[in-house]
Structure 1
Amino acid sequence: METDLIFNHGVELPEFAAFPLIDNSDGRQRLRDYYEDLIQIGRDTGAGVILDTPTWMANPDRAKAVGYAAEDLPRVTRDAVALVRSVSNEHADAAICVSVQIGPQGDGYAPGMASAKLAADYHRPQIAAAKEAGADVISAYTLGSAAEAIGISLAAQELGIPAVISFVVETDGKLADGTTLADAVTQLADTANPLAIMVNCAHPDHIANGFDGGNWEVKLAGIVANASRQSHEELDNAEVLDDGDPDELSRQLADLKGSHSGVRILGGCCGTDLRHLRKIAERVAAT
């Protein structure tokens, strides 16, 4: 959503933070329109839809850069859930999951937190706010370490809300700290066993570099892929959007779903927009 808003709609998102949109009427309307479009894709293709709050950066370290204090953030999460739930309630006949999006403590392209306990303590306030607000799940995206993923998942278990946990890999298919995707998924599954384990913010070619044919691959439940084949460093410095090829991306994701029996969640990350998501849903529905 962020790259779509910035490059395709000319919306300024300082520090790449989308959650401040919750605090103004124009921003809320943009989010509402986006959710409505996603729901329509679901209706047209028969796919269920996960509506994520725009709260990937709503943690104390990252929100500080856009003027939000730690004590502001539970309210932000609650308000975000209220907005998404209000849209969902208008489509009671649709298959919709309301998710609070959680991001890493630091840069999504850097190694994540090294301690599961510290990660659980750090992310617990946002997870608690998600639970209090009535979200269906929390979805932690772009995690660069198994420890941070485990901590978030354990905190969610403690608070009684299901967790979707997603790792990010580099072009070689490994996490930023050098951990293989196989090891990260296995550690998380064996230690915390969240509702779903995914990988995001990498092109299918790069994700495929992390596959080794091992039994762990059946534990992978979702792929939220970049349209761009650029490295994370190139994406960080990009001044022009690389939106790839929606048809190619949909074909690659459908193929990955077909070859990985556990995959049931598909989506788009950097460089993607509603065109890509519609193509993905249409192609999967046709297979």
Structure 2
Amino acid sequence: MFVTDGGVETHLIFNEGQDVPDQSVYLLNMSEAGRAKMREYYRAYIPICQKAGQGFLFDTNTWRANPDWGTRAGYDAVRLREANQIAVAFCEEMQAEFAAAGVESIISGVLGPRRDAWRYDAWMTVEEATAYHTPQIEAFADTDADYVSAYTLTNVPEAVGIARAAEKAGVPVVLSFTLETDGNLPGGKPLGVAISEVDAATHWYPAYYMINCVHPIHFASVVRHGGKWVDRIGGLRVNASMMSHAELDNAPSLDTGNIPDLAQRYARVLPSLPNIRVIGGCCGTDHRHIDAICATCLPG
């Protein structure tokens, strides 16, 4: 079991006032002031892991460090490769600090979707996804990252393409789908169908799957009444808010939700996920949410 962080993008932008375009938090790694802010961010998780008696998963802050989004930030292919590798090196630096505090850790190189992370991408093809995500995966493959993770996926073709690119690069991969308030992927595909389709198309290459960027109230029934595919879910990164993606997109401020209620709902869904190994948060969550979740689900 590994504890991971909350929603790094929403926390640093809304709670800490960091100015990063398009939630491109990896840009903070490029300055000493930014790295200091990231160190402060991660240090809040050391006592949480100590109390829970669990290790920590460093997900690199590279969710937007892919070609299209990188171009918007002024980064070409060479600079993006460097940025992804710098992110891993930063996590390695923090690993030493966690180890000194008695907390073991691992590192995952993080990918995000090519287009909108909260709307169904009907145009994505497997071939496009493979070609698009290969440079970022290859950048991580040339580091000591333990594996790569793709978060907030909305469709099967992109997930398949990422898995194939990871297999070609020789690195393990974890795939995480986002869900709407009905418990299905954007576009309406059931989660179990999506997982089964990706496994069939990739010969079960993904190490496991995750669910992220959705509140437990919206998927608890789905996994509770799911089939054998539920065994493939190994991690959760939940939202603080019960609002839909569209509502969150139009919200005037950050919704941090009800922390004790979120922790209780998290605890109630875990028995339905026998192979869970990563516990963390997504939009609107921070160390306070993860602390409450761990205190409720992993009392040490």
TM-score by length of 2: 0.91
Counterpart residue type for residue 95 of structure 1: E
Aligned ranges 1:71-90 → 2 under 5 Å: 71-90=78-97
Task: Return 5+ residue gaps in structure 2 as ranges.
Answer: 1-7
Q: Which amino acid aligns with 1:67?
A: G
Aligned residues: CA RMSD:
1.6
Greater relative contact order: 1 or 2 (C-alpha under 8 angstroms, separation 6 or more)? 2
Alignment match, 2:270: 257
Helix, strand or coil at the partner of 1:91:
helix
Cα deviation 1:151-192 (Å, max 9, x = unaligned): 111211221211111001111111112211111111123333
Given that 1:52 and 1:101 are in contact with CA atoms closer than 8 Å, whether structure 2 keeps it comes out as yes
Aligned partner of 2:56 in structure 1 is: 49
Letter of the 1:44 partner, please give it: K
Contact 1:53 1:80 in 2 (8 A): yes
The answer as to 2:142 corresponding to 1:129 is no
Indicate which of 178, 190, 198 corresponds to 2:200: 190
Structure 1, residues 16-65: CA drift from partner, whole Å, max 9, x if none? 21111111111111112222222332122112211111100011111222
1:131–1:60: structure 2 CA closer, same or farther, 3 Å change rule? Answer: same
**Alignment size in residue pairs:** 287
Q: Is the 8 A contact 1:153 1:163 kept in 2?
A: yes
Residue of structure 1 equivalent to 2:103: 94
- Is the CA contact 1:32–1:84 (under 8 Å) kept in the aligned structure 2? no
CA contact (8 A) 2:192 2:226 kept: no
State whether structure 2 residue 33 is matched by structure 1 residue 26: yes
Q: Which moved more, 1:54-63 or 1:32-41?
A: 32-41
SS in 2 for 1:198: strand
Tell which deviates more after alignment, 210-219 or 226-235. Answer: 210-219
Q: Are residues 1:154 and 2:167 paired?
A: no
Report how far residue 232 of structure 1 moved: 0.7
Question: CA contact under 8 A between 2:130 and 2:165: conserved in structure 1?
Answer: yes
Residue 267 of structure 1: SS of its match in structure 2?
A: strand
- Answering whether residue 224 of structure 2 is matched by residue 215 of structure 1, we say no
- The TM-score with structure 1 as length reference comes to 0.95
Per-residue deviation, residues 227-257 of structure 1 (Å, max 9, x unmatched): 1011111111222111011111111112111
Aligned equivalent of 1:167: 177
List runs of 5+ in structure 1 lacking aligned partners. none
4+ residue runs of structure 1 moved beyond 4 angstroms? none
Q: Give the distance between the partners of 1:25 and 1:151, measured in 2 at CA.
A: 35
- How many angstroms does 1:209 deviate by? 5.2
Shift of 1:123: 0.5
